[in-house]
Every structure is written in structure tokens, then in C-alpha cells.
Amino acid sequence: MSDAADPPVDDVATKPDEDALGAFASGVETTVDFPLQVEGLHKSFGGITAVDGASFEVEAGSLTGLIGPNGAGKSTTFNLITGVLKPDAGTVTFNGEDITGEEPHEIANRGMVRTFQIARELSDMTVLENMMLAPKHQRGEELWRSVMPGVRDDVREQEEELLERVWEVLDFFDIAHIAEEYAGNLSGGQRKLLEMARALLTDPDMLLLDEPFAGVNPTLEKKLLKHVHELREQGYTFLLVEHDMDLIMNNCEHVIVLHQGKVLTEGTPDDIRSNEEVIEAYLGGNV
């Protein structure tokens, strides 16, 4: 299908603040290599311990997979990192700064943005409105700027700049032809594309994708993966939550296996594949 023709790889998705990231290099050594560090994360709901001291790091520019059987605590870990849930104990560090317990919007503004397991498009808004929402620090988000005559022209100017970027990203993801549609009318796959495109427009350093391939047909899966790989080559860091082992094994260079709220093991796909414990965890051998 679309694999034949390469989509235009232009400067759309090039990372604007690679330099900023580079600046960290001189300061703190570890932050460059591992923008995301999770240390002893713990969360329980009532009597059930969902995450029980998980610790791991995600390397800059990598495509890291987080896998585990159902109930291993993947989604909870994800929510703890992105601020949707607050951990009972442990720390989350992003780009060298402690972000434990921050609000989701604060974390997103630091450059770590997430997508949702079930694509959550804003159905009564068009694809274009969905996309225009995403960019950070829009002048017109201040009410008075949007309303005041004169000042509104500044807002208009920025809107025009943003609009161009939005269309470029729409082209990049091959969804320009549905730009005027209400997001609620899109197919499941188009929603996934929209969600990734929208996340990208926030100018993140790192994208956290929560089961982006769940319920996606193989053609679209290939397409999404192609986009992920292209973006990774441009310097974005990815953390991918999946329970499809094969998909993770074939695409990630580093895999973290969660089991019963703890990191069971981590390593390259080959390490993981040959790991007895992992096989046991997945097959429920320890029951």
C-alpha cells in the first residue's frame, strides 16, 4: 500500500530543541542518556498493589518497549509517569528534573506527551480543530488576547503559523484528506493517526504510546510503525506499552518486562526472548 511511496519527510517533525537537550550533556551526564528515569515506583488501590517498586530508565532517542501480561501494572505505571495517578512512593525524573506528582498538563509542557489506549479524539471538533489545539503556549489561550481588538491580530498571526505546521503534519501522517471531518466520524485507524499527529504537535521530546496498535489492522499497523521509526530517526524518544510480544520484539531495541508490578527483567529483544522467567510469566507457569 502506501509503503511504496515515501511520505514527504521534511522538516515537519524535526525536533526543535535538540540543542537544548545537548546542553544538558555538559551538565548532568546521566540525563542525556536517560531522559526518563523511574525509581521504586509504588501504587496500590485499596488492598491491591498495582505497581510494586518498578524502576527503569529510558534511553534518549530509543524506542523502548514496556511489556507484560495482563494485570502486570503497565497502564498504571504509564499513568504514574504522566501524572494521571500519583504514586504512593518512588520518583519519576524527566530530563534531570523530579516530576513526581506533577499534574498531567505540567508534565506535557515539559515535553513528555502521551497517547491513550483507546484513541480519544475530540469527536465534536474537526480534525483541524483537534490539531490546532495541541501546540503549546498559544498566545490566544489568554482570554484577553483573543478578545481585545488589536491584540487579536497577534493571535491571528500565530494562528496562521500554526495552521501551516498543522497541514504539514497532516500531510506527514497522510490524513490531510479528512482534515475537515468531525473527528467523531473517523475510522478507528484514522483516530490513532490523528492522536499521534496531535501529540507530535505539542513539540515533545518524548512520546509515550499506550497500546497504539490495539485493534488496528495489519496495514495500518505497518503504517503507524513506519511513522514511529521515522520520528525516532529524527531524534524523538519513544516508550511503547504493548502486550503484543512479537510487535515489541521486532521493533524495539530495548524491552522492559513488567510482572506483578515489578520489573522482571530488561534487555534486548533477544535477551528477553530467551529468558525463561518471561516465558513463564506470560504462560502463567508460576501459578
Partner 1 sequence: MSVRDDLAARMPGGDAGLIVFVLVSAYLLYILAGIGLGYDLRGQLNSIATLTFYIGVFAMLSLALNLHWGYTGLFNIGIVGFMAVGVYVMALVSKPVFVPGGAAQVGGLGLPLWVGILAGMLAAALLGLVVALPALRLRADYLAIVTIAMSEIVRFSFLSGELQQFSVLGNTVGFGGGSGLILDFVPPLQALFQSVGLWGVYLGFVDAFQVIVPTNPKPVVDGIVYGLLLLGFVSAFYWLLKRTGESPFGRVLKAIREDEDVANALGKDTDKFKIKSFMLGCALMGLAGILWLIPQGAVTPNFFRPRVTFFIWIALIIGGAGSNTGSVLGGAVFAAVLYQGPRYFQNLVSAVFPNLGSPAGFGQAIGPLISQLDPVPLLLYTVDSIRQLQLVVMGLVLIWLMHNRPDGLLGHRKETASVISLSRPKTMATDGGSVEGGDDE
By CB under 8 A, name the one of 55, 59, 88, 116 that touches partner 1.
116
Helix (H, G, I), strand (E, B) or coil at 238: strand
Binding of partner 1 by 126 (CB under 8 A): yes
Choice between 112 and 264, CB closer to partner 1: 112
Choice between 239 and 264, CB closer to partner 1: 239
Binding residues for partner 1 restricted to 24-53, rule: CB under 8 A: none
Q: Which of these segments, 40-48, 55-63, 172-180, 278-286, binds partner 1 (CB under 8 A)?
A: 172-180
- By C-alpha distance, which of 121, 50, 109 is closest to 80? 50
DSSP state for residue 85 in the 8-state scheme:
S
Binding of partner 1 by 117 (CB under 8 A): no
What span, in angstroms and rounded, lies between the C-alpha atoms of 226 and 230? 6
Asked if residue 69 lies in contact with residue 24, where contact means CB atoms within 8 angstroms, the answer is no
Binding of partner 1 by 147 (CB under 8 A): yes
Binding of partner 1 by 176 (CB under 8 A): yes
- By C-alpha distance, which of 245, 207, 284 is closest to 67? 245
Kind and range of the H or E run holding 42: strand 36-45
Helix (H, G, I), strand (E, B) or coil at 94: strand
Q: Which of these segments, 5-13, 38-46, 60-68, 70-78, binds partner 1 (CB under 8 A)?
A: 5-13
DSSP state for residue 286 in the 8-state scheme:
T
Binding of partner 1 by 17 (CB under 8 A): no
By CB under 8 A, name the one of 58, 80, 193, 206 that touches partner 1.
193
Binding of partner 1 by 86 (CB under 8 A): no
Choice between 23 and 163, CB closer to partner 1: 163
Binding of partner 1 by 257 (CB under 8 A): no
Size of the site for partner 1 (CB under 8 A): 67
Q: Which of these segments, 32-40, 41-49, 185-193, 237-245, binds partner 1 (CB under 8 A)?
A: 185-193
What span, in angstroms and rounded, lies between the C-alpha atoms of 257 and 205? 23
| Residues in Cβ contact with 242 at an 8 Å cutoff, skipping those fewer than 6 apart | 65, 66, 67, 211, 213, 248
- Cell numbers representing residue 239 in the block: 516508550
User: What one-character-per-residue DSSP string does 179-231 give?
Assistant: TTSBGGGS-HHHHHHHHHHHHHTT--SEEEEESTTTT--HHHHHHHHHHHHHH
By CB under 8 A, name the one of 63, 92, 113, 257 that touches partner 1.
113
Q: Which of these segments, 14-22, 111-119, 229-237, 247-255, binds partner 1 (CB under 8 A)?
A: 111-119
DSSP state for residue 275 in the 8-state scheme:
-
By CB under 8 A, name the one of 18, 33, 139, 271 that touches partner 1.
139
How many angstroms from the chain centroid is the CA of residue 133?
17
Asked if residue 281 lies in contact with residue 259, where contact means CB atoms within 8 angstroms, the answer is yes
Binding site for partner 1 (CB under 8 A): 1-2, 5, 7-8, 82, 84, 103-106, 108-109, 113-114, 116, 120, 122-126, 128-129, 132-134, 136, 138-143, 146-147, 152, 155-156, 159-160, 163-164, 166-168, 170-172, 174-177, 179-180, 187-190, 193, 198-199, 202, 217, 219-220, 223
